[in-house]
Each structure stands twice: as structure tokens, then as C-alpha cells.
Amino acid sequence: MRIMILFFLLLSVLKAETITFVADEYCPYNCTPESENPGYLVEVLQSIFQEHDYEIKYVLANSFDESIEQTRNGKYNAILSVLKIDVPDFIFPEHAQGVVDNVFYTRKDSTWRYTGLDSLKEVKLGHISGYNYSKEIDHYIATTYKESNMVQSVSGPSAFLHNLKKLRYKQIDTLIEDRYVIEHHYKQVNEENPFKVAGRLFIKDLFIGFSPKRKESQKYAKILSDGMKTIQENGVLDAILKKYGLDKQEK
């Protein structure tokens, strides 16, 4: 009996600790869990944390807002694919996990271009609930959304696909989206991108943000930050970037 007890105690010690990450689907950064191509960030996490004997679990949320709320209250360890302005109260690694290139998309027959905040007043803008863009644009969205249909919000799984559909069918005139997400989507469905870039909003660092409620967050953030340097030096990062078509990101 003592041998059996010791055996199960040993198993509990040896069992790897699981770190759970959550996000709404946002390929190529985070795609379908437990698939051959779960996403660039998921593979980065696997490469880094498995070296420290941690198990990685990636869970899909119903929306970006939900993934923020559930990570903030401590249900999950961390959220994938965020900017610091999205969740400033979260714990972040010192080194970023990627780059976001947020641009304005319009239909190809449109003559509109983004030239500043005033130019947005000429068009119907589509955005995703919970996303932050800039102080000026966030204020414009917040003050315009309730007053008219000039700003239209979407949420839910793959919300960006809903926005693309709205743009195609002229329910909105422009949307703000990461260029790499759009390029990856149309490559995956083997279609020509029917839209064009009508101005850049920003290029910013992309992060994995750890829950401010979890005591392990600082430790995990440091492991991730140190690991980013390691996989950059040993070539693992380049291989993952190339697999997801992110090897030519601008910064």
C-alpha cells in the first residue's frame, strides 16, 4: 500500500503544470486549437514553455471581449494577441511576441483614404468590440457609435470575417484590421483579396498578456521574454514565422 501511495505521489510531482491561454480565433497568430497549425503564437509558446516542463493549453473564447474579461478575473493564465493599450493592467513580457500592422481597408472602387481623424467622418467605419486603436479613434468610436450608424461594432467568433462581409456588401465603407490577418485569410481560402489598403493607422508590438489576478504571471512573463531571445538566436523563431507567412513583417 505504501508503495502505491508513493507511486501516485511521484506521479503528481512529475505531472507537468498546465498554463492556459485564451483568445478568439485570429489567424495566423492563434488559429484552431490542437490542429496541425494552431497558430504562430501557440507554437512559440509550445517551443518556450515545454523546455521548462510546462504543458500549454489554448482555449477559444467566443469573443475578444470575453477573452479579456476571463483572463482579467483569473480564469485563464493569459490572453493571446493583444496590444498593451488593450489591457494596460495585464502583466507583459519585456520582449514582444510579434508585430501588428493595422491598416484601413476599403473596396477597390473607393476613392477614400485615411488622412486623419476628420477623414473618418466621411465614411461608415467597422470595428471590433474591445479593440483599441488610438486615443483619438477610440474616443471617436465611443462618441459616435451610440449616435448613428457611422460607426458599427461587431463581436463574436472570427469577428473580422463579419466585418469583411459588411464591407463587401457596402454596409460599411472601411474597417481597421491587421494586414497579416487579412492576407492570411485570403491565402487560406484561395481567393484574391477584393479590398485595398487605404492608409496605415500604426505598426505596434504584439504581446501575450498575463492575468493581473494570477500570482504566477510575473514568472511566466519572464520565462516567455527570455525564451523569445533564445528561439530568436537558435533559429526556431524564424522557422515558425516562415511557416505562417510572417517572416517578412515590417517594424
248 domain residue, yes or no: no
Q: Does residue 212 share a domain with residue 199? A: no
Question: In this predicted model, what pLDDT tens digit does every residue of 180-200 receive, in sequence order?
Answer: 999 999 999 999 999 999 999
Question: In this predicted model, what pLDDT tens digit does every residue of 216-241 receive, in sequence order?
Answer: 999 999 999 999 999 999 999 999 99
CA–CA dist 210, 130 (Å, integer): 17
Secondary structure of the chain in HEC code, one letter for each residue: CHHHHHHHHHHHHHCCEEEEEEECCECCCECCCCCCCCCHHHHHHHHHHHHHCEEEEEEECCCHHHHHHHHHCCCCCEEEEECCCCCCCCECCCCCCEEEEEEEEEECCCCCCCCCHHHHCCCCEEEECCCCCCHHHHHHHHHHCCCCCCEEEECCCCHHHHHHHHHHCCCCCEEEEEHHHHHHHHHHCCCCCCEEEEEEEEEEEEEEEECCCCCCHHHHHHHHHHHHHHHHHCCHHHHHHHHCCCCCCCC
Query: What pLDDT is attached to residue 7?
Result: 47
Q: Does residue 110 share a domain with residue 27? A: no
Q: Which residue carries 494586414 as its cell?
A: 179
Q: Does residue 130 share a domain with residue 111? A: yes
Residue 38 preceded by cis peptide, ω within 30? no
CATH of the domain at 182: 3.40.190.10
Q: Does residue 139 share a domain with residue 76? A: no
Q: Does residue 226 share a domain with residue 193? A: no
75 domain residue, yes or no: yes
In this structure, how many other beta carbons lie within 10 angstroms of the beta carbon of residue 139? 11
Q: Does residue 111 share a domain with residue 83? A: no
249 domain residue, yes or no: no
Is residue 13 predicted with pLDDT exceeding 50? no
Partnered with residue 206 across adjacent β-strands are 98
Q: Does residue 53 share a domain with residue 116? A: no
Is residue 3 predicted with pLDDT exceeding 60? no
Give the domain range for residue 140: 100-203
CA–CA dist 213, 91 (Å, integer): 10
Which candidate, 208, 134, 131, places its Cα nearest to that of 177?
Answer: 131
Q: Which residue carries 484574391 as its cell?
A: 192
Is residue 20 predicted with pLDDT exceeding 80? yes
CA–CA dist 154, 235 (Å, integer): 38
Question: In this predicted model, what pLDDT tens digit does every residue of 108-122 receive, in sequence order?
Answer: 999 999 999 999 999
Mean pLDDT to the nearest integer, 139-160: 86
163 domain residue, yes or no: yes
The total number of structural domains that make up the chain = 2
Q: Does residue 155 share a domain with residue 232? A: no
Q: Does residue 92 share a domain with residue 11? A: yes
Q: Which three three-digit cell numbers place residue 193?
A: 483579396
173 domain residue, yes or no: yes
Average pLDDT, the chain: 91
Query: What pLDDT is attached to residue 12?
Result: 47
Mean pLDDT to the nearest integer, 74-89: 96
